[in-house]
Structure 1
Amino acid sequence: MTLTPREAHARADAAAPAVLWLDSPDRPDARVPVGDADVDLLVVGGGFTGLWTALRALERDPGRSVLVVERDRLAEHATGRNGGFCEASLTHGEANGQERWPDEYAALERMGLANLDEIEATVARYGISCGFERTGQLSVATRTHEVDLLEPSVPGFLDATAVQAAVDSPTYLAGRLDAEGCAMVDPARLAWGLAAAAESLGARIAEDTSVLRLRRRGTSVEATTSHGVVRARQVVLATNVFTSLLRRMRARVVPVYDHVLATEPLTAEQRAALRWTARFGVADSGNLFHYYRLTADDRILWGGYDAVYHFGRGMAPGHEQRPATHRLLAEHFYATFPQLSEVRFTHRWGGVIDTCTRFCAFYGLAHRGRVAYATGFTGLGVGASRFAADVMLDLLEGTPTERTRLAMVREKPLPFPPEPFAWVGIQLTRWASARADETGRRNLWLRTMDRLGLGFDS
């Protein structure tokens, strides 16, 4: 049965407005807020970046006192709302890395794979039950001009017959499987496990604790919170897209909303109809791309495509549910997998991503070297956040390392312009990117952005 757009829309509308990963009876109770405290290291933010920083800080120096403060709940935002693709790439993919840092890309690729290996080892060492599977990721071409992007002359290329034998979709024209560079995880459970691991080493974690301002006090930094004052020898800012405590950062990151659907668990017959026996993630090759995967209980998580920027860098809970985008995603799902016309969606949600003009994280120090930050991950922070934690700890130690010598670490992305120019530029880029997906040609606007090293992505 082929669903009409109206029927697909009704399926999306009927899904519960809830985040699949967070909709779990196993979600830990909230940690209590913290009042006044004195610590060696204060970590602001309870997502992947902050939790990895706390854990790595204590693994590197077990004697230090570490406090993590989160204004909401652990994993509540980008960390608990993504697709669970834990990629080795530190540069938002090979093409972006090769274009921006060709001389050091081999080192970046090596470090990224080592970082993914270390994530896998951490999950095993602490017994973190997060469904970690080193499955790899399948890239697929769904338009004729995308086939060449998958390099047909290079070993490992899958033609239409081969890729449809791996996952059966009439839309697939070609594919390529990166077998080593990506793992699938339950991102919320990974975060909860990292928090428990850090606490097992002595970290304190407080939720419902906002940091309102930072200021230097002699050799320490004083953080005024919603419940007291924390004095710290060093501070790590892991707030990503949320309001930075450093004014200089606010123009370099903009919030983009990504939206996701999750199906009901597939039956054995439905799985067989897909031929999706390996559990790799899938992403198509467009500028506006979909990402999707099987969950541990055989749902399909289906997201991406329609990255949404709200005027004035707007962020609000109401932006997390966007019927027009969820309906569009539903249409695309049933067009990709017409054999799943009977499958319904159970969850729909959205989340905000921190994007910057170079598409991957950037780093720095403030307050005379006592405060470190990392932000701008642009949707690939599940794996890269661990690398970022080590970069920030290296920067705070003040001793150069292979990581801190990287141009990627030393350089900053160009800022976004003020409004209304940011909104106009982003809408024009989205339109031009969609046009390029249809035609296979990048117009003058996109070519100019390429030459300037600027962009917009999620």
Structure 2
Amino acid sequence: MDPLASLRDAEPTPFWLDSPEKPHAATALVGATSCDLLVVGGGYTGLWTALVAKERNPNLDVVLVEAEEAGGAASGRNGGFVEASLTHGLQNGITRWPEEMGLLERLGRENLQAMEDTLVRHGIDCDWERTGSLAVATEPHQVEWLKEEEEAVARYGGSSEYLDADAVRAEIDSPTFLAGLWNKHDVAMVNPARLAWGLRAACLALGVRLHENTPALSLDEHGHTVTVRTPYGSVAARKVALATNAYPSLLRRHRPYTIPIYDYALMTEPLSEEQLAAVGWKNRQGFADMNNHFHYVRLSADDRILWGGYDAIYHYNGKVRAEHDQRPETFATLAKHFFTTFPQLEGVRFSHTWGGAIDMSTRFCVFFDTSHRGKVAYAAGFTGLGVGATRFGAEVMLDLLDGARTERTQLELVRRKPLPFPPEPVRSVGIGITQWSMTRADHNQGRRNLWLRTLDSLGLGFDS
């Protein structure tokens, strides 16, 4: 089957958001109001911040403003991998915070469990499955990487199971799989849109005042309050949490620390019993391969396969625009790779194609800052494994706004920001060289050239 034919009838919209469960938008803010805490941004970071703030203090008056609709951006269109890791994977964390990794791993596992407990407490049904995930080797040199990763996981208090070629194909059958490492406990699968909508409903039930289609235009300090202006009104707050992530921060000095990277995904039609049996996959783990240009893959609740990743696209000057959400050349590449991985699924069609912007930082994970004498806190840069870390980010922002000295706020990860991205045109040129070098490494047994090794030594990187 021609891979392009499999895309012929696909809807150009995120599968998760294409649902009758999508809530009606809350009214836009009109006029002036005031509150104790204003949250700017209605993705996971903002929703968790509002929810945790109300759980900590039910009497706190919390307002949340969202430029479009809650969960409509990255939070409603990602792959739905909820990782315990706060550092975009163990190896990235070891490289950057070796002395803190034991603590960071523990805090990450506690955070994942706290997420699960919150979903139960508020009755949020979002297809949460604690299945774990597989890292799979598709090239011979990657097999040794998996064995080294197994040792590192054990060293920092985790558990994983190495699978040889026969064992990994007994879990998920692909002729491209040479080995796997199964993290059984520290990853959950979730319907990302239903998670966002569930958090939204929980916030409303606790009394959060939500205004959608209300972009924040400016932020100014006035004595003991900070005022955020919107198109038809304003909010004066004692404290403000900024959770705009891939979108430009209201604080101009924060903007060089993140760039929007576009990531893309396909979703198949539901698999028949025979098609699913041909793949196996009885334990329903998500998986990702070990390449620089990697794929991430998982089953939905109705047995569709989400197939995403590989291309990570940056647009000059970091523009976030709706027209970037569709990229036919990437969808064609993804479809070709899908059938190479699962030739037994020839004839399967894709029902949805979509993309969206991710907020990437040079260290691949969240960073924090405060301003206006501690009345404003900021969290961004989660990159591609940030679904679980958004709750941790919310806790840190609230700690910072309270001026609290906690285990979280004392982390070097929290106290130090990453290196900023250079201005254009140097930024685009550097990203282009980095992408070329990563592709070359994937075709050269993972060997990193001088450019990549230099970036490694400087603590700079590019990923999705």
TM-score bracket relative to the smaller structure: over 0.9
Residues 101-158 of structure 1 show CA distances to partners (whole Å, capped at 9, x for unaligned) of: 0000000000000000000101111110100011100110001111111017857211
8 Å CA contact 1:139, 1:282 repeated in 2? yes
- Shift of residue 314, structure 1, vs aligned partner: 2.2
Q: 2:460 aligns with which of 451, 454, 457?
A: 454
Return structure 1 stretches of 4+ with deviation > 4 angstroms.
152-155
Q: 1:444 aligns with which of 425, 443, 450?
A: 450
Residues 360-390 of structure 1 show CA distances to partners (whole Å, capped at 9, x for unaligned) of: 0000101111000100001122100000000
2-structure distance, mates of 1:314, 1:430: 19
Residues 34-87 of structure 1 show CA distances to partners (whole Å, capped at 9, x for unaligned) of: 222110000000000000000000011111100110010111110001000011
Residues 394-442 of structure 1 show CA distances to partners (whole Å, capped at 9, x for unaligned) of: 0001021000000000011111111111111111111111111111211
8 Å CA contact 1:13, 1:323 repeated in 2? no
RMSD: 1.0
Q: 1:28 aligns with which of 16, 23, 26?
A: 23
8 Å CA contact 2:268, 2:349 repeated in 1? yes
> Is residue 2:78 matched to residue 1:85?
no
> Is residue 2:233 matched to residue 1:228?
yes
> Is residue 2:182 matched to residue 1:168?
no
Give 1:61's aligned residue.
57
2-structure distance, mates of 1:55, 1:301: 29
Helix, strand or coil at the partner of 2:20: coil
8 Å CA contact 1:52, 1:386 repeated in 2? yes
8 Å CA contact 2:6, 2:347 repeated in 1? no
> Is residue 2:21 matched to residue 1:16?
no
Give 1:301's aligned residue.
306
Give 2:288's aligned residue.
283
8 Å CA contact 1:283, 1:290 repeated in 2? yes
Helix, strand or coil at the partner of 1:454: coil
Matches within 5 A, 1:397-416: 397-416=402-421
2-structure distance, mates of 1:351, 1:135: 25
2-structure distance, mates of 1:436, 1:115: 34
- In the superposition, the TM-score normalised over structure 2's length comes to 0.96
Give 1:134's aligned residue.
130
Give 1:146's aligned residue.
142
Q: Please tell me the residue identity of whatever aligns with 2:427.
A: A
2-structure distance, mates of 1:246, 1:292: 36
Q: Please tell me the residue identity of whatever aligns with 1:46.
A: G
2-structure distance, mates of 1:432, 1:113: 34
Matches within 5 A, 1:412-427: 412-427=417-432
Matches within 5 A, 1:310-325: 310-325=315-330
1-structure distance, mates of 2:230, 2:319: 24
Give 1:113's aligned residue.
109
2-structure distance, mates of 1:379, 1:145: 24
Structure 1 residue runs of 5 or longer lacking an equivalent are none
8 Å CA contact 2:40, 2:244 repeated in 1? yes
Q: 1:326 aligns with which of 323, 328, 331?
A: 331
Identity of aligned residues (%): 57
8 Å CA contact 1:13, 1:327 repeated in 2? no
Q: Please tell me the residue identity of whatever aligns with 1:66.
A: V
8 Å CA contact 2:257, 2:419 repeated in 1? yes
> Is residue 2:259 matched to residue 1:263?
no
2-structure distance, mates of 1:280, 1:314: 34
- Shift of residue 13, structure 1, vs aligned partner: 4.3
- Shift of residue 12, structure 1, vs aligned partner: 2.5
2-structure distance, mates of 1:192, 1:248: 31
Matches within 5 A, 1:333-352: 333-352=338-357
Structure 2 residue runs of 5 or longer lacking an equivalent are 152-159
Residues 331-378 of structure 1 show CA distances to partners (whole Å, capped at 9, x for unaligned) of: 000000000011100000000000010000000101111000100001
